[in-house]
Each structure stands twice: as C-alpha cells, then as structure tokens.
Structure 1
C-alpha cells in the first residue's frame, strides 16, 4: 500500500469504526489519463460498512466519507468511488 491509501484507511477506521473496509488503488487503470499525477495514487475505490450508516441514506453516507477525506480530495485524490453500507 502507498502513503495515500494508508491515510485513507486510517482516517476511515478512526471516523467510522467500520465492520468492513476495503480500499483499492485503481490508479494503474487510469495511467496517462486526466487526473493522473504520476504518483500511482490518484484513483481509489472505498468499500465501507459500519453501524453509523444504518441511519443514513446513500448520499449522506457518501458525504460523510468525503468529509473524512476532504483535504486529500482537494490535493491528493483525483477520483474516489464509494460503496457505503450499513
């Protein structure tokens, strides 16, 4: 795992205490495309499940994940796919 992927995982564990968390680096699929900064850590998929999400709809779940990663999304992550469930 790379530095950004590790940071994503750390923040999501700290913020949500997930029962399931899978962070996948999809950057290799986007090499040479817009948003590829050459770091190999610009595109990710997050699959996360936690009890807190049971009270949230899909949009609220995605917003909560985006808030936890806000500064990374501004500076380090070009694309983030989120699959969030309870």
Structure 2
C-alpha cells in the first residue's frame, strides 16, 4: 500500500546471485548485468527489486 504499488499481488523481490562473471565489476555494473538478464520483468510485474550480486569468495 504505497505509491507505485497497484495491490495486485507480490511485487517486492530480492535476488541473490553468485557468479564468476561478477569478478572485478562494481556493484552498479553487477546490478545492470542482472537487470539485463531479467529482460522486461522489472518495471512490468516487479515494483521493487533488491539485488545482491557477488563473485565467488566474496
């Protein structure tokens, strides 16, 4: 029940990923990689998305 939420169901998610592809990347670069992989899901069916992306060993 806040601005931007239409009340149609679950719309807040947390994604936790670990991948060697994230090694040497900034937090912003990692988040952009995840958003690209999700395609049109963010902004359509997802209102809020928390991303925790790390490289192995972090």
Structure 1 outlier segments of 4+, above 6 Å: none
TM-score when scaled to structure 1? 0.56
1:47 aligns with 2:27: no
Q: How many residues align?
A: 55
* 1:24-69: CA deviation from partner (whole Å, max 9, x where unpaired): xxxxxxxx12232223221111111111111322111000011112
Higher CA-based Rg:
2
Gaps in structure 1 of 5+ consecutive residues: 1-31
Q: Which residue of 2 aligns with 1:58?
A: 27
What is the CA–CA distance in structure 2 between the aligned matches of 1:33 and 1:64, rounded to whole Å?
Answer: 28
* Equivalent residues in 2 for 1:57-76, closer than 5 Å: 57-76=26-45
Distance between the aligned counterparts of 2:8 and 2:19, measured in 1?
30
- 1:1-86 to 2 correspondences below 5 Å: 32-86=1-55
